[in-house]
Amino acid sequence: MNLISVFDLSRAEIETILENAGELRAERKEGKRTRKDLEGKTLALIFEKPSTRTRVSFEVAMLELSGNVLSLNWNELQLGRGERIRETAKVFSSYVDAVMIRAFRHSTIEEFAKYTSIPVISGLSDLEHPCQTLADLMTIKKYKKSLAGVKVAWIGDGNNVCNSLIGGCAITGMKISVACPKGYEPNPEIVKRAIEMGCDVVVTEDAEEAAADADVLSTDVWVSMGDEDEAERRKNAFKNYQINEDLVRVAKDDVIVMHCMPVHVGEEMTEEVINSDKAVIFEQAENRLHAQKALLLKLLN
Ligand code: CP
Ligand code: NVA
């Protein structure tokens, strides 16, 4: 099995991953960091773009589960010199037990999966970031006790992180309102699929409308990796899509504020909000570790 899109997981599978992730978190807090479950197993991480959280959390996850991990830069592999994905994928099948890929194009990860016999995990593409969603759902569940009925408001770019979160909301029974400028809406097929699953998805240009009565406020950078050429145009388009104290006041009193990180302080989120007691972004980042451990146990055991 692969995790390339958040839709690769059923509601029951997500619930089990979150439950196991919670147990792993509790164990770790009690000082029990290592398990033997993945002894002898090797995970390869392939990065076509930079990463802090995804790389470190996957590396630590494998180390603490007694497995091995290889972090590989796309351009240092023959892939960077034009070796085809299909041959690379077949070669990886005979060396390692699973591969995580962070790629520019979603189709790159899908193509790798087509030609390999080992599980493939997306570590982000231009379309989705499913591992981020697992950590996001884990964080929301901890604060809101259950996911069903929770209202998420996404403020800003309808990007990869937003697309997977919409899918995560649809699978787990949450509602989501996305506020974004025209031309930066989330992927229409993902929105359509979520609505067909019965999810209450609203896409609006009005940040206050989206934030009204929200249980969760979330956002991401205005300029994602790969969008640098249009940075100025984007910064201009998104200037009214910031999570600041005024917007937080529109949401529920017990709203939590989330961001997958890295944060561009003063752009999509203000310093005051980042440092406020409503922000749970560091716990969200920590949960990448626990959620991915639970995912690896599912895929590699
Ligand atoms: N949130 C996230 O995926 O962070 P990195 O880009 O640092 O991996
Ligand atoms: N949307 C951002 C997420 C980074 C974790 C990007 O793709 O750069």
> Same domain, yes or no, for 66 and 207?
no
Active site residues: 102, 129, 132, 220, 260, 288
Assign 71 to helix, strand or coil.
strand
> Same domain, yes or no, for 125 and 184?
no
> Same domain, yes or no, for 269 and 295?
no
Helices and strands, counts by H and E, the chain: 12, 9
pTM for this entry: 0.97
Alpha carbon separation from 101 to 8, 156, 258 (Å, rounded): 16, 25, 24
| Total number of domains in the chain | 2
> Same domain, yes or no, for 106 and 240?
no
> Same domain, yes or no, for 137 and 277?
yes
> Same domain, yes or no, for 147 and 102?
no
Half-sphere exposure of 242 (CA within 13 A, CB side): 20
- Ligand 2 centroid from CA 109, angstroms: 16
CATH number of the domain encompassing residue 44 = 3.40.50.1370
DSSP 136-173: HHHHHHHHHS--TTPEEEEES---HHHHHHHHHHHHHT
Q: Do the domain assignments include residue 83?
A: yes
Ligand 2 nearest atom to the CA of residue 225, by list position: 8
Rounded CA separation 276/238 (Å): 22
> 54: Cβ below 6 Å to ligand 1?
yes
> 282: Cβ below 6 Å to ligand 1?
no
The residue with tokens 């995970």 is: 43
Domain, as residue range, for 252: 132-284
Evaluate whether 18 touches 137 at the Cβ level (below 8 Å).
yes
Q: Do the domain assignments include residue 1?
A: no
> Same domain, yes or no, for 14 and 125?
yes
pLDDT tens for the chain, 301 residues: list them.
999 999 999 999 999 999 999 999 999 999 999 999 999 999 999 999 999 999 999 999 999 999 999 999 999 999 999 999 999 999 999 999 999 999 999 999 999 999 999 999 999 999 999 999 999 999 999 999 999 999 999 999 999 999 999 999 999 999 999 999 999 999 999 999 999 999 999 999 999 999 999 999 999 999 999 999 999 999 999 999 999 999 999 999 999 999 999 999 999 999 999 999 999 999 999 999 999 999 999 999 8
- Of 136, 144, 194, give the one whose Cα is nearest residue 161: 136
> Same domain, yes or no, for 103 and 167?
no
Alpha carbon separation from 153 to 128, 252, 261 (Å, rounded): 18, 11, 17
**Ligand 2 binding pocket mutation candidate from 160, 164, 269 (most atoms within 8 A of CB):** 160
The residue whose CA is least distant from atom 3 of ligand 2 is 224
- Ligand 2 centroid from CA 225, angstroms: 6
DSSP state of 79: G
Assign 275 to helix, strand or coil.
coil
- Ligand 2 centroid from CA 192, angstroms: 23
> Same domain, yes or no, for 217 and 260?
yes
Ligand 2 binding residues, C-beta < 6 A: 124, 159-161, 220-221, 224-225, 260
Ligand 2 nearest atom to the CA of residue 132, by list position: 5
- Determine phi and psi for 7, rounding to 5 degrees: -70, -5
CB atoms within 10 A of CB 146: 11
Q: Is the peptide bond before 130 cis (omega within 30 degrees of 0)?
A: no
The residue whose CA is least distant from atom 6 of ligand 1 is 51
> Same domain, yes or no, for 158 and 121?
no
Q: Do the domain assignments include residue 31?
A: yes
